[in-house]
Structure 1
């Protein structure tokens, strides 16, 4: 079923959608739309307004979101295996309980997004703004993460073991019990190194200049 430029705002849509066909939404207004539990495996959302849309418990396995988006989209407990988000506004989106195995986020605005409590074996991030986001307990083990801002984000309990961070920022980031063992942080802005960060960075790979900056912050001059 194809929806092209349709105003679907504030509508209950789940019962109108069949699991036997792929669904395409092009430039649709889905503001506050009710898609709770909807069969949307393989669906495509192209430049759609999704402000406040309810996608809780929806089957979004392999779904593709390109452009558009909006504040406070609800993905709690949804199946997002292999879902792809490209250049989507996911500010303050709710992903608690969502299954994110092999999902990918590229070029997304994810300020204040809540991914803590999400499930799965890992997802990918590139060129995303995760300022003030909460990723508590998420696994990014072994992933290559490029161009991501984690400023003032909560990464407590996250697993970055053997991950590679390239052109990423960790300024003001909360890193309580975060794991960076064997992670390559040479391409990251580590921000101000407090004691919690230093414990989190135990076992990580950093540059000599990064190490010198850490020591300098503690009043030790490296010559």
Structure 2
């Protein structure tokens, strides 16, 4: 395997995404020096990290192979070879159709910090590798859109429709999700420190491989949510409602569910139970919580302290 070739490919696509080594390192939870070593051909990422890189940089996994050849240049030459097509394109740019106007809402790789997207309708759009810090998406309908490897620090998603949206490997620090519509939304490997979810209903949402220790949830309803491989240690979930939620592979040490409502909630991991897992469950506080008998039985079997729990 040619490590210099892989390093140059990482550097090339990173620069195309207008992403610094530090930004890429932050999304991978590694040091910028490690990224620098890859790009100089001094070391090589392992296979797990290669998969993460492909997801963050928005490329096919085969991109990093020696035999991968891009078809973009061929397609580009073919597109400009026909003068008639060029003239038609010029006309459409001058007076774009409704379909063309929609296509212009692809903002991948753009620098759009503090931009105003409030109230817009932009279905299935891509905001990948973009600088969107402090941008206002309040009240917008972004159904089916994707945010990947973007800086969305302090963005406003209050009242935004994020149905079927994918937010992967983003910096969402201090973002606001007040009364946001979250249906089948996926948050993956993203930074949500200081992000606030208030009066939100999360329906069939996935919060995967995400550090939620400093995320704030207030008066939320979690219905069918999966916290796969996420870190919820010390998280306050008091007073929230959980229905059909899976905490199977999440870190929950010292989390609190005081006064919460839990129905058909799963805490049992898919892997073998260990003493470490039993100890972690015992650190969770359920004082004043209400739960159905099946959830209660599962937690009791795992050794949780349930003396102050009542049945629904």
* TM-score by shorter chain over 0.5: yes
Other-structure match for 1:89 = 171
> Which structure has the bigger radius of gyration?
2
Shift of 1:5: 7.1
Shift of 1:207: 7.5
Are residue 151 (structure 1) and residue 233 (structure 2) matched? yes
Aligned CA distance change for structure 1 residues 75 and 178 (closer, same or farther; 3 Å): same
Other-structure match for 1:69 = 151
Aligned CA distance change for structure 1 residues 101 and 193 (closer, same or farther; 3 Å): closer
1:105-184 aligned at under 5 Å gives the runs 105-119=187-201, 121-184=203-266
Q: Looking at both structures, which has the greater relative contact order when contacts are Cα pairs under 8 Å and sequence separation is at least 6?
A: 1
Q: CA RMSD in A?
A: 2.8
Q: In structure 1, what is the Cα distance between the partners aligned to 2:124 and 2:193? A: 26
The match for 1:34 among 89, 112, 116 is 116
Shift of 1:201: 6.7
Q: In structure 2, what is the Cα distance between the partners aligned to 1:33 and 1:168? A: 35
Greater shift, 165-174 or 126-135, is seen at 165-174
Other-structure match for 2:36 = none
Shift of 1:25: 1.6
Q: In structure 2, what is the Cα distance between the partners aligned to 1:59 and 1:138? A: 21
Q: In structure 2, what is the Cα distance between the partners aligned to 1:190 and 1:113? A: 25
Other-structure match for 2:83 = none
Equivalent pairs counted in the alignment come to: 198
TM-score of the two chains, using structure 1 as the length reference: 0.75
Shift of 1:109: 1.3
Q: In structure 1, what is the Cα distance between the partners aligned to 2:152 and 2:173? A: 7
Q: Is the 8 A contact 1:176 1:200 kept in 2?
A: no
List per-residue Cα deviations over 1:95-152 (Å, max 9, x = no partner).
1021112211111111121112124644221111111212233333333321111233
Other-structure match for 1:21 = 102
Other-structure match for 2:185 = 103
Aligned CA distance change for structure 1 residues 143 and 118 (closer, same or farther; 3 Å): closer
Aligned CA distance change for structure 1 residues 5 and 133 (closer, same or farther; 3 Å): closer
Q: Is the 8 A contact 2:257 2:286 kept in 1?
A: no
Aligned CA distance change for structure 1 residues 40 and 136 (closer, same or farther; 3 Å): same
Q: In structure 2, what is the Cα distance between the partners aligned to 1:176 and 1:93? A: 25
Shift of 1:191: 6.1
TM-score of the two chains, using structure 2 as the length reference: 0.56
Aligned CA distance change for structure 1 residues 193 and 129 (closer, same or farther; 3 Å): closer
Q: In structure 1, what is the Cα distance between the partners aligned to 2:134 and 2:161? A: 18
Q: In structure 1, what is the Cα distance between the partners aligned to 2:264 and 2:217? A: 20
Aligned CA distance change for structure 1 residues 123 and 25 (closer, same or farther; 3 Å): same
Q: Secondary structure at the match of 1:160?
A: strand
Residue segments in structure 1 that go unaligned for 5+ positions in a row? 7-17, 216-223
